[in-house]
Amino acid sequence: MNIITITEENLEKEHICCAISSNKDCQVASKKAWLSARLKDGLVFKKGDVRGKCFIEYIPAENAWAPIQAEGYMYINCLWVSGQFKGHGYSSQLLDECIKDSKEKGKKGLVTLSSQKKLPYLSDPKYLRYKGFRPADTAAPSYELLYLPFTEDAPTPSFTPKAKTPRTDADGFVLYYTDQCPFTAKYVPLIESAARAQNIPFHPVHLQTATQAQDAPCPFTTYSLFHQGAFLTHEILSEKKFQKLFSDYYPNP
């Protein structure tokens, strides 16, 4: 498999959005706009020369949209290989590209968000440990910060204190989200509309800068839903799933 690096010159024509192919889709437009703005911050997006889920996205940790302390590291936003592309060594090929690039840029190692067991939208901890990643820190309810140091004396990264115990002070539902994942462009407005239609308190917090994301009260800034201050899920919910969820709290809205 040949690997393509996304640049301002080829961003518009390349397929980068998971299973979504049309540039006219709001999800694709949102993701590409976010990527374009991040390229100046050192973000790298490498993908297989295929149309599908086969890519790695990473950025210097100082510019990461994540509440972590990992100076000198490279933060992996997403490593996703699935469907027909699994089982061919493409994940290793993409990760090796990231390691090579990060070493050339003088980084201390790699760091990424995972979990104690495999969860949607997070890198598989079993695979990462197999590739040499180590636990650096934990956050409630089951998040793990994993890292791959390039030298034995490299400092250990950590979550920010606020992110270690995800919580908010607002009433009702609170959703923290970014445009990093294309799916938020479609599904956030849908669940917000569903909540408004039932007169259920819903407060979307659209994180629009790395500084805002680094100060977030949740490890997964792409999408984190709270209710009455308590963290509920980082799974990007469809309207149907959200309606089922809020019916547990508001049976007769």
The span from the CA of 210 to the CA of 212, in Å, is: 5
Non-local (6+) Cβ contacts of 203 within 8 A are 170, 172, 173, 174, 175
Q: Which two tokens stand for residue 200?
A: 């259920």
Domain formed by 163-249, architecture:
3-Layer(aba) Sandwich (3.40)
pLDDT one digit per residue (tens) for the chain, 253 residues: 899 999 999 999 988 866 566 777 889 899 999 999 999 999 999 999 887 789 999 999 999 999 999 999 999 999 999 878 888 889 999 999 999 999 999 999 999 999 998 898 998 999 999 999 999 999 999 999 999 999 999 999 999 999 999 999 989 999 999 999 999 999 999 999 999 999 999 999 999 999 999 999 999 999 999 999 999 999 999 999 999 998 888 886 5
The span from the CA of 113 to the CA of 144, in Å, is: 6
Non-local (6+) Cβ contacts of 6 within 8 A are 14, 16, 35, 39, 44, 45, 46, 47
**Helix (H), strand (E) counts: the chain:** 7, 13
For the chain, give every residue range classified as CATH 3.40.630.30. Answer: 3-159
Non-local (6+) Cβ contacts of 140 within 8 A are 164, 165, 166, 231
CB atoms < 10 A from the CB of 145, how many?
Answer: 27
Cβ-contact 119, 224 below 8 angstroms: no
Cβ-contact 217, 169 below 8 angstroms: no
For the chain, give every residue range classified as CATH 3.40.30.10. Answer: 163-249
Query: Which pLDDT value is given to residue 241?
Result: 95
Which fold, 3-159? Aminopeptidase (3.40.630)
The span from the CA of 147 to the CA of 74, in Å, is: 10
84 phi/psi in degrees, rounded to 5 = -70, -10
Query: Which pLDDT value is given to residue 232?
Result: 96
| Nearest one of 129, 108, 103, 132 to 117, comparing CA atoms | 129
Exposure letters 47-86 (e unless 16+ CB within 10 A, then b):
bbebebbbbbbbbbbbbbbbbbbbebbbbbbbbbbeeebe
Helix (H), strand (E), coil (C) string for 100-113: HHHHHCCCCEEEEE
The span from the CA of 12 to the CA of 24, in Å, is: 11
Query: Which pLDDT value is given to residue 86?
Result: 82
Helix axes 184-197, 239-249, angle to 10 degrees: 40
Segment holding 55, helix H or strand E: strand 54-60
Query: Which pLDDT value is given to residue 82?
Result: 83
The sign of the torsion formed by the CA atoms of 199, 216, 113, 7 equals positive
pTM > 0.85: yes
